Amino acid sequence: GERTIRRLLIIGGSSMVRQACRFGAPAGSWLERMLARKPRMLVSVALANKMARMVWALLTRNEDYRAPAAVAA
């Protein structure tokens, strides 16, 4: 794949992991569960992979990103 894009996705994933470690991830979230059992760098790469799949889906379907709806407790 494209080296620069891959690097930027991993930097973005690392930033999200760092934020989650510092302030806590949402309870029960995928990120919280992954951080509880895997090393941070591995979670960063997994998150980059997840973001890459979302970007690919948006580009191939020619859609805009729709944030997940907030769940009322």
Q: Domain residues of the chain, as ranges? A: 3-61
Helix (H, G, I), strand (E, B) or coil at 42: helix
pLDDT digits (tens, 9 = 90+) for 40-68: 999 999 999 999 999 999 999 998 988 87
pLDDT in tens, 2-19: 899 999 999 999 999 999
pLDDT at position 70 over 80:
no
What is the pTM (predicted TM-score) of this model? 0.81
Residue 28, C-beta contacts closer than 8 angstroms, at least 6 positions apart: none
Residue 71 has pLDDT above 80, yes or no: no
Cα gap 43→20, rounded to integer Å: 11
Question: pLDDT for 29-38, tens place per residue?
Answer: 999 999 999 9
Q: 3-state DSSP: the chain helix, strand, coil percent, rounded to 5?
A: 70, 0, 30
Higher pLDDT, 40 or 26: 40
**Distance (Å) of CA 54 to CA 17, 21, 37, 44:** 18, 23, 24, 15
